Every structure is written in structure tokens, then in C-alpha cells.
Amino acid sequence: MLDGGRRGWRWLTSGGNIRVRRPPALFVGPLLLLLALAAPYRWLFFLAYSCLILTLASYGWVRYVGPRLHLDRRLSQKWAQVGDTLEETWCLHNCAHLPVLWLEIDDVSTIPGYSARRVVSVDRNDHRTWTTGAMCVQRGIYTLGPLRARTADPFGIFEYEWREERTRQIVIYPPLAHVRGLTLPLGRSGSVARADILRRHTTPDASSVREYAPSDMLNHIHWPTVARTNRLMVKEFDQERAGTLWIALDLCAEAYQESAITSGTVAAPVSLQSSALPEAPHFWETPLELAVVIAASLAAKALDEERLVGFLADDGRPRLVQAGRGPRQLWRILEELADVRATGTLPIGDVVRRERGSGTALAVITPALDGAWLPALAEWQRGRPGAALAMLIVPAPLRASALEERLAALGARSYVCVVGQPLPLVNPPRPRATLRISPLGKVIGDVRRER
């Protein structure tokens, strides 16, 4: 009997989706009916029957319309970069023969500045489509969903609510910027014979040509020389440009706390309205975001030169990307950079000592100006001038002058990145003019930016 009661209750509530919004409204009809039986006036019976019919009709309305509503959402892209416009297309289908006067949609997404909360209506046997969007203002790994939607009968006695617990993950990567006037440190071949390496590795610079050997690749043939000499000749590539480059990013919390105290500024939290598409905050305004963009940009620059690139960092958990080349290697590094935080306890010097390669180049990105990491840099360089580069994140250029002199004495090069100094983006967003209609019917022009 208990199981039968539970099945009956689930049937009445349509699996728990139907709820009573105004419980007192359920007692008005029975009370009026009892009053009419006690004092048999015609108008009391009329009111009692009207309230009972209204309650039953309201229940039938939500029970009929609710299960026949279908909401679809489609994301325009699977990933994005800071500065991109994230857009999502929604489509509400009403398969019932009754209209939906209102449907409240509540989406619990974690993307900063993005909200899909909305109240919409749709006619019977009709559908409605709309788009929600926001500017990607912060790198990270976020989720879209879960989703909650609810509607009610015209009198608001009952409501129908359903939840979609399915979530979707989206990664917002840091942008890439041009670092002007920067020359990457050079590595060397290591213990492998130079001729063998020149046959295997392709670099942007070809130093000379030689006769073809059976182990050479066909795409290394230099056809203008073949046409001139009537012999098969292949290109020899500059091996110095093929040296491995390791990028070490400082994520020690103390280094960034000291940088914030030295600059005397604290980054303000981002506060955005869900319906707005604001300009993305400049990544160069905070030391951590500037360091992350510099790391990503160095990796892209080195990989564009067809070099092997590896990545080192520690923000509480070791982040290591073994040296590799090609577009996939850039995506591996960007995935690590997407959610790094300055929460590490390990100084950058200890991070560098974890991975020391023979003859490889090193680029250190750090806001720490105390120079405690210089011995680790010297150990990596091993007397090879130009094999190490220090990217110094500073609040003002003059603050790094003393450390630059110490780096020059070690034979390492330095590059100063000033917090607050703009850097040109590799793929800047383009302005796009759009029109929207305000709730009062006024046409308003917006200028949005798209890549």
C-alpha cells in the first residue's frame, strides 16, 4: 500500500516536477463548499465550484504543458581565448496546444561575466530562438550548467520545474602577444653527431647545401641548386636554432606578494553585468597575467621557429610539459597555463633544478628581483653565454637595473616586462557593430569585438 501511495504521488507530481506555488489556494474551494453546505446559498455554491474548477484547470495546465517543453542550447565554440566573445544559441520548443506565458531559465555557469538567466514566452506549437554572450575576461577552466527551468499556470497556483544536471566544460586560454626586440636563447646539439642532426631537424635557417645521401628526406632537396648543377643537393640547417628551449614560469606566492607590495597597487576584482559585453581587462595590468601571457608567447615564438620547447612550473602541484615541437605542443603548454595560479611554495630556483638538460636553453619568467634564483640559472647555463634568458616582471623599469647587471655578469641575457605597459596581441579582436532593441523599443547600436 505504501508503494502504491508513492507511485500515486509521483504520478500526481509528474515525477516530482509539479509543485504547489500557493498552498492556501487549494483550500479556498473546499472551504467555500463546506460553507455552502452549511448555509445553502446559490452564490456560495457558484463560488465554490468556480474555485474547484479553477484549481483543477491550473493543475491540468502545467501537467499538460510542462512535459511538452524542450530547451536546446548550443555553444558556438569549444574553447576560447581571453578577449574572445563567447556566444551560446538557445532554442525553446513548445509542442503543446497551449501557450507558455513565461518560462524562467536559471543557468549556473562559472564563466566570469556570463549569465544565461532569462524569462521568455512562446506561443502554442511554436519555438523561440535567442543568443546569449559575454566577453571572455579571465583564463581558466569553467563549466556551463547545470540548468533549471520553471513555468506556471496563468493563476500561479502550480508550477512545473525541471533540471538538467548535465554540464559542459570550456577552456579559456591566455592570449598570445608580440614581444618586440626579443631574441630567444640558443641551445646546442648535445652528444649527437652534427651531420645526423642536420639531416633530421628542419629549422628556419639553411646554412649551406650538400650532396644528397640515402638517409636524407626528400623535402630537404634544394631544387634551384639541382637545376643549376644537375645533381641532387639537400639543405643543411643551422643547428643552433634547433636547440631545445625550456620555459620556467615562477608561480611562487611570495614572489607575487612582494611584487604587489613593491608596486603599491592591488588588482581590483572584475565586476560585470550579465547582459553586458564589456572590453576584456588588459592582461598586462597584473604581474601574474602578464607572466602567463609572456610564457605562452615565448612558447609560440620558439615553436614557430620549429624548435623543441618544454615547460616548467609549480603552483602547488608540479606542471611539466616534456620538450616537443609543432602545434600540438603549443596546445599542451596552453592547457597548463589556462588554470595556473600564484599559489606555489617552491621558489623558481628549485623548480629550475628539477629539470636540467644538456646543452638546452632556458627562459625564466619571474617577478622575484632578489636574485636568489641566479645560482640555479648559472648551473643550467654551465658557462655557455647566451644559453639563458631572464624575463623580469617589474612594476617599473629602473627596479630591475641591479639584477640586470648581475645577469650580464653571468653571461645571461635579460628582458624587462613592465606591468601596465601594453603589448600588441598576435590575434587582436576586431570591432563588430550590432543592433539591439531595448525593453522600451529603442534601437541601440553596440560595438563588440570578435576575432
Q: Which amino acid is at 78?
A: K
- Cell 645571461 locates to 412
Give the C-alpha separation, 202 to 217, whole Å: 10
Second CATH level (architecture) for the domain 243-418: 3-Layer(aba) Sandwich (3.40)
- Least confident span in 6-20, 114-128, 147-161: 6-20
Q: What is the pTM of this model?
A: 0.77
191: exposed, middle or buried (C-beta count within 10 Å: 0-12, 13-18, 19+)? Answer: exposed
Give the C-alpha separation, 286 to 278, whole Å: 19
**Cα 260-407-183 angle, rounded to 5 deg:** 90
Mean pLDDT for all residues in the chain:
83
Break the chain into its structural domains and give their ranges: 17-173, 194-238, 243-418
pLDDT at residue 201, rounded to an integer: 53
Tell me the average pLDDT across 223-251. 81
pLDDT, tens digit, for every residue of 379-395?
A: 887 767 778 999 999 98
Question: β-strand 100-107 against 147-152: which pairing, if any?
Answer: antiparallel
Tell me the average pLDDT across 309-333. 93
- Least confident span in 276-290, 292-306, 333-347: 276-290
**Structure-model confidence comparison of residues 333 and 207, the more confident one:** 333
Q: Name the nearest CA neighbour of 323 among 248, 411, 251.
A: 248
pLDDT of 272 above 90: no
Q: Name the nearest CA neighbour of 402 among 363, 371, 380, 376.
A: 371
**Residues comprising the chain, all counted:** 451
pLDDT of 263 above 90: no
Whether residue 138 contacts residue 172, with contact meaning beta carbons closer than 8 Å, is answered with yes
pLDDT at residue 399, rounded to an integer: 83
Packing angle, helices 374-381 and 401-410, rounded to 10? 30
Query: Tell me, which fold does domain 17-173 have in CATH?
Result: Immunoglobulin-like (2.60.40)
pLDDT of 2 above 70: no
Same fold, 17-173 and 243-418: no
Question: pLDDT-derived band of residue 210, with 50, 70 and 90 as boundaries?
Answer: confident
Please state whether 47 falls in left (phi above 0), alpha (psi between -120 and 50) or beta: alpha
pLDDT, tens digit, for every residue of 92-133?
A: 999 999 999 999 999 989 998 898 999 999 999 999 999 998
Tell me the average pLDDT across 362-370. 94
For 352-410, strand residue ranges (E) read 361-366, 388-394
Tell me the average pLDDT across 206-224. 80
